[in-house]
Amino acid sequence: MAYSESVKRRKTREVGVGPLVIGGENPIWVQSMTATHTEDIEGTVSQIHELEEAGCELVRVTVPRLKALENVTTIRQKIGIPLICDIHFDYRMALGCLDESCEKIRINPGNIGGPDRYKQVVKKAKNQGIPMRIGVNAGSLERDLVEKYGWPCPEALVESALRHIETAESLGYDQMVVSLKSSHVPTALESYRLFSEQSDYPTHIGITEAGMVPYGITKSAVGLGAILLGGIGDTIRVSLLTERKSDEVDAAFDMLQATTRRVRKPEVIACPTCGRLEIDLQKVVTEVEERLKNQDLPLKISILGCIVNGPGEAREADIGIAAGRGKGVIFKKGEIIRHVEESEMVDALMDVIDNWDEETETGTAAPGDLLPVIQTPQ
């Protein structure tokens, strides 16, 4: 299969979640979950505001007890993004949430108390017009499927999801999003792949219990990157053990950016440096990254430290700097537009970025012309 074919996003059916639509050609929305007790309104709202500030678009809270259930509507009134209630074990909490102000519920039908209770939840979700995530998890798969397959393998996870979809559809309900989570990356990847071959329901993707930063981000990036590049995923959560919940949101957006599934900021391509380096590249790139923090133009900016790959990368980027001997050459859309000293490099680059719409200046020098400018004498 050609690379371009493998990265085409799979078209799923659309499911409305408050003001957002999940699936179809809509963006892959970034989701997170609070680590607070929902009994604590102030703490929960404060954490959701931190997530909102980072760009989170859907947030989930756990509703394990009556006291937490009582707070759902109050919490929703104090936040600006759709609220998802996450329920395990007690189907009455799911029924209760469907009477509160939330845009979606998430249940794991495998631990909600059996088929009859699951059906009660589905019927009420249908009546209330509330979508639901069928959250299948390798750690809490139905016993009969574990016995049938011997372990919570991808086939077992997919059979669980399809079984619950079939039951819901038999009751006339189809507002579902599906997740098939495992902390084992190959199992998660294969589960999403198998499911997507058999169903067009949108998927929420995640690698569950990925652990602490930085390994948790690396593990999630491996799994979610492969899933996204396989064309799968309509919402995403990076599950990290971190005190700064916004880490989850930042990591999710970075994964969407790196897979080109959703580009919402400039991407800086910088070389790792080596013995050929002749400028303080770390300083230059750090300053550029800092000054790009609020920039949302989806530009590809390449900053390389010498002429080995610098001109080639710079020509391929929207804007590029090929550096050497304390100088640099700035490229715009493949053409050289300026020669700059190292001390002016960041200002000159930012000048091009800040005037990107108006900028019409392009140079005419052939790429080979820059070699005498920045080449190191032997």
Which residues contribute to the site for ligand SF4 (CB under 6 A)? 271-274, 276-277, 304-306, 308-310
- Nearer Cβ to ligand SF4 (202/324): 324
Please state the closest distance from residue 298 (CB atom) to ligand SF4, in A: 24
The three-point CA angle 199-201-207 to 5° equals 95
Mapped onto helix, strand or coil, the DSSP state of residue 172 is coil
To ligand SF4, the closest distance from the beta carbon of 44 in angstroms equals 46
| Residue-wise DSSP of 1-62 | --HHHHTSPPP---EEETTEEESTTS--EEEEE--S-TT-HHHHHHHHHHHHHHT--EEEEE
* CA end-to-end span of the chain: 46
Which CB, 188 or 317, lies closer to ligand SF4? Answer: 317
**Closer Cβ to ligand SF4, 128 or 273, answer by number:** 273
Q: Compute the half-sphere exposure of residue 61: CA atoms within 13 Å on the CB side of its CA.
A: 33
Q: How far is the CB of 260 from ligand SF4 (least distance, A)?
A: 23
Min CB(221)–ligand SF4 separation in Å: 22
Give the pair of three-digit tokens for residue 151. Answer: 């372990």
Smallest Cα–Cα separation from 171: which of 204, 140, 135, 132?
132
Nearer to ligand SF4, 110 or 310 (CB): 310
Minimum separation from the CB atom of position 236 to ligand SF4 (A): 32
* Of 272 and 377, CB closest to ligand SF4: 272
Minimum distance, C-beta of residue 282 to ligand SF4, in the bound complex (Å)? 11
> How do the residues of the chain divide into helix, strand and coil, expressed in percent and rounded to 5?
45, 20, 40
Q: Decide whether 256 or 303 has the Cβ nearer to ligand SF4.
A: 303
Cα 93 to Cα 41, 62, 68, 85, distances in angstroms: 17, 10, 9, 9
